Amino acid sequence: MPIVMESAKKRVIIPRGEVADIVARLAAEITRDYKGKNPLLIGILKGSFVFMADLVRCLDFPLEVDFIRLSSYGSSTETTGSVKVEQPLRSKVRGRHVLVVEDIVDTGITVSFLMAYLKKKKPASVRLCALLDKPSRRRTPVTIDYLGATVPDRFIVGYGIDCAEEYRNLPDICVLEE
Ligand code: PRP
């Protein structure tokens, strides 16, 4: 663990109850648009695993789930700007209604890469659901079709989101403070 984080304090910015309300609201929007379409939900690992698990349990209709593991940060806190597919999809995308499920959009580089990557595979449609958006950091334009909440330009952790692989298991969404 980096020494700088040993003194970091966590401050809750979205408590777990509010997260659950946000997830339920997103699920209602997704149900309205996707019920009967057997969509393919694609989560971006690792950060989306908690959000995906809660979201799909609020969706009461047939759907499929897959994951892709992308990485642009390595072990750094600054994006390298180039995205690598660390673990590919297993599902066929062609002709499917695809919904990308992402924990946080920061610079936008990760989801921009994935949306372009998926469009080349000729889905029937592809949209983005993001739990959190940090628009102050954007480096490339991103359309978020289903958005949970906007967060400030602080170091966000919890609910799947890490700092140097720590804190993913926090049930609340927090900022790290020195
Ligand atoms: C984080 C986060 C998003 C991405 C957002 O993932 O989970 O996927 O960064 O950043 P961007 O908008 O600047 O591209 P990370 O690459 O750290 O991997 P992880 O999900 O395995 O933690």
In DSSP notation, the chain reads --GGGTT-EEEEEE-HHHHHHHHHHHHHHHHHHHTTS--EEEEEETTTHHHHHHHHTT--S--EEEEEEEESSTTSSS--S--EEEE---S--TT-EEEEEEEEESSSHHHHHHHHHHHTT--SEEEEEEEEE-GGG-SS----SEEEEE--SS-EEBTTB-BTTBSTT-SSEEEEE-
Note the pLDDT of residue 59. 98
Question: Please, are residues 50 and 102 in contact by the beta-carbon 8 Å criterion?
Answer: no
Q: Would you say the CB of residue 44 lies under 6 angstroms from ligand 1? A: yes
pTM, to two decimals: 0.94
| Model pLDDT for residues 63-92, shown as the tens digit of each residue | 999 999 998 876 677 777 889 999 999 999
Sheet containing 9-14: give its strands across.
Answer: 9-14, 173-177, 156-157
The pLDDT confidence band at residue 106, using thresholds 50, 70 and 90, is: very high
* Ligand 1 contact via 110 beta carbon (within 6 Å): yes
pLDDT at 166: 96
- Mean pLDDT, the chain, rounded, equals 94
Nearest residue CA, atom 6 of ligand 1? 47
pLDDT class of 7 with cuts at 50, 70, 90 = low
- Ligand 1 proximity of 100 Cβ (cutoff 6 Å): no
